Amino acid sequence: MSAGLYVHVPFCLTRCGYCDFNAYAGLDHLRSRYVTALVREADLAAPAWDDEDVVSIFLGGGTPTTLEVADLEAVLRHLRDRFPVAPDAEITIEANPDTVDLDRLATIRAAGFDRLSMGAQSFDRTVLAALERVHEPESVRRAFAAARSAGYENVSLDLIYGANGETVDSWERTLEEAVALAPEHVSAYALTIEPATPLGRKVAAGVVPAPDQDLQADMFNAACEVLRDAGYRHYEVSNWAKPGYECRHNLGYWERRPYLGLGAGAHSYRDARRWWNVRPPEEYMSLVEAGTPPVGGEERLDPSDAYLEEVFLRLRILEGIPASWVDDDRADPFLASGLLTLDNDALVPTERGMLLLNELVLALTA
Amino acid sequence: MTDTQRIRNFCIVAHIDHGKSTLADRLLELTHAVADRDMRAQYLDRMELERERGITIKAQAVRLMHDGYELNLIDTPGHVDFTYEVSRSLQACEGAILLVDAAQGLEAQTLANFHLARDAGLTIVPALNKIDLPAADPGAVAKELADLLGCDPSEILQVSAKTGEGVEELLRAVVERVPPPEGDPSKPLRALIFDSAFDPYRGVIVYVRVAEGELRPRARIRLMASRVETEAEEPGVMAPEATPVDRLGPGEVGYLVTGLKDVHLAKVGDTLTLAGKQGAGEPLPGYREPKPMVWSGLFPAEGGDYPELREALDRLKLSDAALHYEPETSMALGFGFRCGFLGLLHMDIVKERLEREFDLQLIATAPNVEFHVVRGEETVVVHNPAEMPVPGTYDRVEEPVVFATIIAPSDYLGAVLDLCESRRGEQVDMSYLSPERAEVHYVLPLAEIVFDFFDQLKSRTRGYASLDYEPWGYQPADVVRVDVVLHGEPVDAFSSVVHRDKAYVYGKQMVERLKDLIPRQLFDVAIQAAIGSRIVARETVKAKRKDVLAKCYGGDITRKRKLLEEQKKGKARLRRVGRVDVPQEAFIAALRVDEGGAGSKGKK
């Protein structure tokens, strides 16, 4: 079965106020020890995965490009040695505009990473400031041009909308700037306030207003329109791609195909079991160095868990669910109100339906 | 059994905050009824709730031994809601200490309690309290009090319950002035039940004052109004902890473990006698069913808790004869009870006890008074807004009114009159207790004073005014029922009967509150207030447009699924009204009487 490999790099130059990922600034001194641990964990895990067909590898973070290029190359080479990685596998690396230049991008490309996912977030200086991102809009354009010069033919831009102070107009300008660069793939996320982040605390304290959900809905609609007009296909709630450039790795999560996560806090899934590594990098490294799988927790999916996942993930990727899964009287009100459409006997959310996906999922699985 | 000549039964009556509970503490200490190490402030206020709120809800009876005399102190509640219980406890006494704060002077409840005590034929022992306070003016207050009682100021005792000064003298005056009880021990037993309690292990316990005859352990007894027989399992006295005795004779005050399990049988005010031929033929006079003044629907927040709520009300009713309840079904809230209370404080206390002692979460509908709907010769009593007929189907509606006594410093008289006028009050008379203090009487609709009147009175007089009131019958009223309509569906729980002039304000307030409390749905929700078919206020909760998890990558599907499961659980807690999902909290918050509005927290 086709599987994915995820490698987590928990290092960042600075922490952004909205981010609740397992990432740390100021742990750079652990980098080479961490790379060794990744290699070791791959050795521990690989035997169990040798009957899978690895079709994607994704280096995420944190900021993977904070690692030395030689280390990135070594990790990738080791994964190819140890796992049955398909020759045409999609190999993605995440990058922040400020951590890359032409030289670096070229060597990373030469090391085998052929897809670049760039954390642009916005082309509006005030929005970047509200997100506590350290880069300037100009760095995104420069890094993007560098990526093209380095030979990347599959680049994705990550965007975030709905930060404090952003208007629909400024968001549309960001979308147009992004489209002007002609990336193969765009991810556009509504800013979500996570309680355990500096921004979450500011919102809780009333220092920063919580994002206006109606405004974010308008921004979502604007994204749909601008990106559709520019030739992108909306294939997941927050993801658009030129035909054939959908992110194969992320589709693996949404299609509930197996994946193995390596690194601190990384998540894995296989055979109705989900498990995840311990989050603190030091704890992760110590366990791996002792030859112990660094698992921090797991859950076994019972059929109702699996069904709920199946429904909400299928609806997210617009594959929809077979109409036969749901009683007509559950689905009919949503077909009538235009949140769902029927496409080849599948119930598929409309654009409005995508915005109310939680409601759809709860109603259809109640 | 003590010779009746050496028994004194007395109570302390006072305006709230004039120091009754503190004086009771001193009396317990002085007579060594409580070992010093067990002494705690407000010893007699047994209920946790009482001590927190600083008010006395249940009458208590304690036996004190002093100089060879048996002194039975019967504690009485001090809030206007509980006048009935005060009158019950007064009937168990021959004397009353009328306690007046030497700094505050006479207050409305001082007068009300004085009248109650005098009407019950009690000997009044007047005393000024808090004479140690710098602001005390014992001379002037003694004169006010002497004028009221028609006695000489020198007969008024002066004490400080706080320091203990004068308390010994007060006790002596009780022995000297209060007559001993009368009663023939050879006559058939008659004992007044003036309080009751339910003990989970021992069943129903009644507090009694024996008028005639003797009560002995294991006697067969009969409760005359309830027509029930049982065995006198254990007579005893509170000294102040329960102490069994061989018999209770005429004039004695004590408790009796009855062995009864049924909560409704031990009615406060009933007469207890012996079963069979040895029993008395006539009960003691004065029993009446306490009459509820304020009604509200109580519903379990969790519909499945209905049996628990019924059980809890059965229990509470045992020690709270004034509590009324009957089953009620609400379209919006399901099964519950329409409950009658003496006042808002009483309602608050019952609700809080149900929640605290029985671990229930409750939704209380807007409190209302009892209306009489007159149609020709027929009068229908309505104490549930849902039962109020539509206009045009009756001749008139009558609402309860009260006779209110307000005492306030003369400087604030204008503010007091303004308030009463704005509450549809009709002045009866006005007089001056002294050049600085005035007393006014008004007839006011009960509905106007039951909610925030007291707080308004206090705030407009900087806390100096005092209030007491008593029922004064019914008078015609121009009232209408205001309904709240949610997306076309009337919500019975939000209906209220209000005066026509206030209908718009009520309706507007309810729809504005609900606008903030009802979560956005998948469609626009109209919230309307209506009188009959006429809409008087309207708000809209706009349809929800966005409810989706933005990010779903990085492989942590578990967390996303759990978020959805949480949301699903939240949905299961919603109540569906027509097509609209309404959270429990919306009912609780929308129906909450205004902060500071109920005016029922803390002492009055």
Looking at residue B454, what is its pLDDT? 83
Mind giving me the DSSP string for A255-308? TT--EEEESTT-EEEETTEEEEE-SSHHHHHHHHHTT---EEEEEEPPHHHHHH
Whether B286 has a pLDDT exceeding 80, the answer reads no
Convert the pLDDT of each residue in B375-426 to its tens digit.
999 999 998 998 898 878 899 999 999 999 898 889 999 999 999 999 999 9
CB B219 within 8 A of CB B274: yes
Looking at residue B260, what is its pLDDT? 87
Convert the pLDDT of each residue in A176-206 to its tens digit.
999 999 999 999 999 999 998 999 999 999 9
Question: Would you call B261 exposed, middle or buried from its count of C-beta atoms within 10 A (0-12, 13-18, 19+)?
Answer: exposed
What distance in Å separates residue A220's CA from the closest CA in chain B?
A: 9
Looking at residue B79, what is its pLDDT? 58
Whether B178 has a pLDDT exceeding 60, the answer reads yes
Q: Check CB contact under 8 Å for A253 and B568.
A: no
Looking at residue B266, what is its pLDDT? 79
Looking at residue B20, what is its pLDDT? 83
Question: Would you call B135 exposed, middle or buried from its count of C-beta atoms within 10 A (0-12, 13-18, 19+)?
Answer: exposed
**Is the Cβ of B569 closer than 8 Å to some Cβ of chain A?**
no
The mean pLDDT value of chain B amounts to 86
**Is the Cβ of A96 closer than 8 Å to some Cβ of chain B?**
no
Residue keyed to tokens 């005010």: B269
CA distance B342 to B333: 24
Q: Check CB contact under 8 Å for A267 and B557.
A: yes
Length of chain A: 366
Report A:100-159 residues touching B (Cβ under 8 A): none
Angle at alpha carbon of residue A7, lines to A3 and A12, rounded to 5°: 150
End-to-end CA distance of chain B: 40
Convert the pLDDT of each residue in A46-92 to its tens digit.
999 999 999 999 999 899 999 999 999 999 999 999 999 999 999 99
Looking at residue B429, what is its pLDDT? 94
pLDDT category, B599, cuts 50, 70, 90?
very low
Q: Check CB contact under 8 Å for B554 and A60.
A: yes
Question: Would you call B446 exposed, middle or buried from its count of C-beta atoms within 10 A (0-12, 13-18, 19+)?
Answer: buried
Looking at residue B306, what is its pLDDT? 95
Looking at residue B47, what is its pLDDT? 52
Model ipTM over 0.90? yes
Q: Residue B419 contacts by C-beta under 8 Å, 6 or more apart in sequence?
A: B453, B456, B457, B460
Element (H, E) at B218: none
**Is the Cβ of A188 closer than 8 Å to some Cβ of chain B?**
no
Partner residue facing A359 (CB), from B522, B556, B557: B522
CB A85 within 8 A of CB A79: yes
CA distance B321 to B266: 9
Structure tokens at B187: 């006559």
Burial B529-549 (b: 16+ CB within 10 A, else e): bbbeeeebbebebeebbbbbb
Whether B299 has a pLDDT exceeding 90, the answer reads yes
Residues from chain B contacting residue A190 (CB–CB below 8 Å) = 546, 548, 550
CA distance B88 to B320: 12
Looking at residue B49, what is its pLDDT? 52
What distance in Å separates residue A112's CA from the closest CA in chain B?
A: 21
C-alpha B546: how far from chain center:
48
3-state class (DSSP) for residue A126: helix
Q: Check CB contact under 8 Å for B522 and A356.
A: yes
Q: Check CB contact under 8 Å for B558 and A267.
A: yes
Q: Check CB contact under 8 Å for A276 and B552.
A: no
Structure tokens at B584: 């429990």
Dihedral angle of Cα A135, A140, A144, A145, to the nearest 10 degrees: -100
3-state class (DSSP) for residue B182: coil
Mind giving me the DSSP string for A337-360? TTSEEEETTEEEE-HHHHHTHHHH
Residues from chain B contacting residue A299 (CB–CB below 8 Å) = 558
Q: Residue B492 contacts by C-beta under 8 Å, 6 or more apart in sequence?
A: B330, B331, B332, B385, B386
What distance in Å separates residue A58's CA from the closest CA in chain B?
A: 9
Describe chain B by its helix, strand, coil percentages, rounded to 5: 30, 35, 35
Give the chain A residue whose CA is nearest to the CA of B551: A189
**Is the Cβ of B553 closer than 8 Å to some Cβ of chain A?**
yes
Q: Check CB contact under 8 Å for B561 and A312.
A: yes
3-state class (DSSP) for residue A156: strand
Q: Check CB contact under 8 Å for B522 and A259.
A: no
Report A:305-344 residues touching B (Cβ under 8 A): 305, 308-309, 312-313, 316, 337, 339
Give the chain B residue whose CA is nearest to the CA of A253: B555
Convert the pLDDT of each residue in A122-157 to its tens digit.
999 999 999 988 889 999 999 999 999 999 999 999
What distance in Å separates residue B513's CA from the closest CA in chain A?
A: 21
Length of chain B: 604
Structure tokens at B14: 């006072």
CA distances from B191 to B211, B268, B397 (A): 5, 11, 42
**Is the Cβ of B550 closer than 8 Å to some Cβ of chain A?**
yes
Residues from chain A contacting residue B547 (CB–CB below 8 Å) = 213, 355-359
Q: Residue A218 contacts by C-beta under 8 Å, 6 or more apart in sequence?
A: A168
Looking at residue A282, what is its pLDDT? 97
Q: Check CB contact under 8 Å for B546 and A214.
A: yes
Give the chain B residue whose CA is nearest to the CA of A300: B558
What distance in Å separates residue B546's CA from the closest CA in chain A?
A: 5
Residue keyed to tokens 């007395």: B10
CB A346 within 8 A of CB A320: yes
pLDDT category, A24, cuts 50, 70, 90?
very high
Among B287-291, B375-379, B446-450, the range of highest mean pLDDT: B375-379
**Residue of B17 and B232 predicted with greater confidence:** B232
Q: Chain A to chain B, count of Cβ pairs less than 8 Å apart? A: 100
CA distance B106 to B325: 37
Structure tokens at B13: 């009556």
Report B:506-525 residues touching A (Cβ under 8 A): 522-523
DSSP state of B523: S
The mean pLDDT value of chain A amounts to 95
Cross-strand bridge partners of residue B483: B530
Percentage with pLDDT > 70 across chain A: 100
What distance in Å separates residue B579's CA from the closest CA in chain A?
A: 12
Structure tokens at B524: 């626009």
Whether B322 has a pLDDT exceeding 90, the answer reads no
**Residue of B307 and B243 predicted with greater confidence:** B307
Q: Check CB contact under 8 Å for B558 and A238.
A: no
Residues from chain B contacting residue A3 (CB–CB below 8 Å) = none
β strands within B167-227, DSSP E:
190-199, 203-212, 220-223
**Is the Cβ of B560 closer than 8 Å to some Cβ of chain A?**
yes
Convert the pLDDT of each residue in B526-554 to its tens digit.
999 999 889 999 999 999 999 998 887 77
Percentage with pLDDT > 90 across chain B: 48
Among A133-137, A165-169, B458-462, the range of highest mean pLDDT: A165-169
What region, left, alpha or beta, does residue A95 occupy, with left being phi > 0 and alpha being psi -120 to 50 degrees? beta
Sign of the Cα torsion B247, B250, B251, B257 reads positive
Mind giving me the DSSP string for B39-101? --TTTT--SHHHHHHT---S-EEEEEEETTEEEEEEE---SGGGHHHHHHHHTT-SEEEEEEE
Backbone angles phi, psi at B158, to 5 degrees: -125, 120
| Nearest one of B167, B141, B190 to B26, comparing CA atoms | B167
Convert the pLDDT of each residue in A214-271 to its tens digit.
999 999 999 999 999 999 999 999 999 999 999 999 999 999 999 999 999 999 999 9
**Residue of A350 and B44 predicted with greater confidence:** A350
Q: What would the mean pLDDT of B126-140 be, rounded to a whole number? A: 92
Q: Residue B426 contacts by C-beta under 8 Å, 6 or more apart in sequence?
A: B442, B443, B444
What region, left, alpha or beta, does residue B42 occupy, with left being phi > 0 and alpha being psi -120 to 50 degrees? left
Give the chain A residue whose CA is nearest to the CA of B555: A267
Residues from chain B contacting residue A7 (CB–CB below 8 Å) = none
Q: Check CB contact under 8 Å for B545 and A354.
A: no
**Is the Cβ of A259 closer than 8 Å to some Cβ of chain B?**
yes
DSSP state of B304: G
**Is the Cβ of A49 closer than 8 Å to some Cβ of chain B?**
no
| Nearest one of A243, A102, A66, A226 to A159, comparing CA atoms | A226
Convert the pLDDT of each residue in B78-95 to its tens digit.
555 666 667 777 888 999
Q: Which long-range contacts (CB under 8 A, 24 or more apart) does A45-51 make?
A: A45/A260, A45/A262, A45/A293, A46/A82, A46/A83, A49/A3, A49/A83, A49/A84, A49/A260, A50/A83, A50/A84, A51/A84
Whether B57 has a pLDDT exceeding 70, the answer reads no
Partner residue facing A362 (CB), from B553, B560, B568: B568
CB B520 within 8 A of CB B583: no
Q: Check CB contact under 8 Å for A267 and B554.
A: yes
Partner residue facing A356 (CB), from B548, B560, B565: B548
Element (H, E) at B231: strand B228-231
**Is the Cβ of B329 closer than 8 Å to some Cβ of chain A?**
no
Q: Residue B81 contacts by C-beta under 8 Å, 6 or more apart in sequence?
A: B341, B342, B343, B344, B345, B346
Cross-strand bridge partners of residue A341: A348
Q: Check CB contact under 8 Å for A357 and B547.
A: yes
**Residue of B452 and A288 predicted with greater confidence:** A288
Helix A281-289 and helix A31-45: axis angle, to 10°? 50
Q: What would the mean pLDDT of A336-355 be, rounded to a whole number? A: 95
Q: Residue B150 contacts by C-beta under 8 Å, 6 or more apart in sequence?
A: none
What distance in Å separates residue A150's CA from the closest CA in chain B?
A: 26
Whether B459 has a pLDDT exceeding 90, the answer reads no
What region, left, alpha or beta, does residue B275 occupy, with left being phi > 0 and alpha being psi -120 to 50 degrees? beta
Backbone angles phi, psi at B230, to 5 degrees: -160, -170
Give the chain B residue whose CA is nearest to the CA of A193: B550
Q: Check CB contact under 8 Å for B552 and A266.
A: no
Looking at residue B171, what is its pLDDT? 93
Residues from chain B contacting residue A337 (CB–CB below 8 Å) = 522-523
Residue keyed to tokens 């065995």: B231
What distance in Å separates residue B561's CA from the closest CA in chain A?
A: 7
**Is the Cβ of A282 closer than 8 Å to some Cβ of chain B?**
no
Looking at residue A201, what is its pLDDT? 94
What distance in Å separates residue B390's CA from the closest CA in chain A?
A: 36
Q: Check CB contact under 8 Å for B548 and A354.
A: yes
pLDDT category, B38, cuts 50, 70, 90?
low
Structure tokens at B505: 């304000």
Q: Residue A138 contacts by C-beta under 8 Å, 6 or more apart in sequence?
A: none
**Is the Cβ of A355 closer than 8 Å to some Cβ of chain B?**
yes
Q: Residue B412 contacts by C-beta under 8 Å, 6 or more apart in sequence?
A: B460, B461, B462, B464, B465
Q: Check CB contact under 8 Å for B567 and A358.
A: yes
CB B385 within 8 A of CB B481: yes
Of A41-50, A317-326, B85-94, the range with the lowest mean pLDDT is: B85-94
Please report, as a single letter, which amino acid is at residue B226: S
